[in-house]
Amino acid sequence: MPACDAEGTGKPLLRQGYAVQGGDFLAGGTVSTRIKDLLKEIGLSPALIRRAAICCYEAEMNVVMYARQGTMTVEIHPRELVIRVEDEGPGIPDVELAMQEGYSTATDFMRSRGFGAGMGLPNIRRNADLLEIESVVGRGTSLRAVIRLV
C-alpha cells in the first residue's frame, strides 16, 4: 500500500479525471453522476457516497455556472477520498464571504432555475472533512475536498 499522509496527498490507489464545461446546464450533474457510479462500483458505503455526491454536485455546478471550463478529479487513497476541481474562470474575490451560507453572486437566470441559494460551498464544507479553496481573480479557482474513509 503506498504511503499516504492524513490529508490524502500521497499517490492515490485510483485517480479518475473528468472535464466540466462552463455554461452547459444541460450536462450539469453528469460528471457527479459518473463519479457516484464509480464509487458504487468500488464498494464505498452508501453514507460516504452520499457525502461525496453532494460535494461533487455542488462543485460541478459552480464550474457550470461561473467558469469557462474545468476538470474534476476523484482520487481514492487508502484512508481518504479526494475531490479536486480546477477551473478557468473569474475566480472568487473573497473566499471567506463565498463560504457564508446565503451569500451568492448568481444571476437572475440561475436563481430562476433554483440555483444561487448560497448553499453550494457550505454544503461541500458540511459533507467534507477538509475543504481548501484557492482562487486567483481573473484566472480561476481550485478546490480540494477530502472525505475520510476510515
Partner 1 sequence: MVALKHIIDELGLKVYCCRDTLDRPIIGGYSGDLLSDVMAHSHAGEIWITIQTHPNIIAVASLKELGAILLANGRAPLPETLEKAEMERISVLGSPLPAFELAARLSRLF
Between CA 81 and CA 3 the distance in angstroms is 15
Stretch of 5-13, 76-84, 89-97, 117-125 lying at the interface with partner 1 (CB under 8 A): 117-125
Asked if residue 50 binds partner 1 (CB under 8 A), the reply is yes
* DSSP bridge partners of 125: none
Strand (E) or helix (H) holding 110: helix 108-112
Q: Give the residue, chosen from 25, 79, 99, 148, that forms a contact with partner 1 under the rule CB under 8 A.
A: 25
| 70 binds partner 1, rule: CB under 8 A | no
Rg (C-alpha) for the chain, rounded Å, is 15
Q: Is position 103 an interface residue for partner 1 (rule: CB under 8 A)?
A: no
DSSP for 19-36, written as a single string: EEETT-TTTTTHHHHHHH
> Which residue, 10 or 118, has its beta carbon nearer to partner 1?
118
Please pick, from the candidates 39, 81, 92, 115, the single residue that binds partner 1 as defined by CB under 8 A. 115
Any contact of residue 32 with partner 1 (CB under 8 A)?
yes
DSSP 77-144: -SSEEEEEEEEESS--S-HHHHTSTT-----HHHHHTT--SS-HHHHHHHH-SEEEEEEETTTEEEEE
The one-letter amino acid code at 21 reads Q
**Per CB under 8 A, does 57 bind partner 1?**
yes
Stretch of residues binding partner 1 (CB under 8 A), selected from 12-20, 49-57, 68-76, 91-99: 49-57
Binding site for partner 1 (CB under 8 A): 25-26, 28-30, 32-33, 36, 46, 50, 53-54, 56-58, 61, 113-115, 117, 119-120, 123, 126
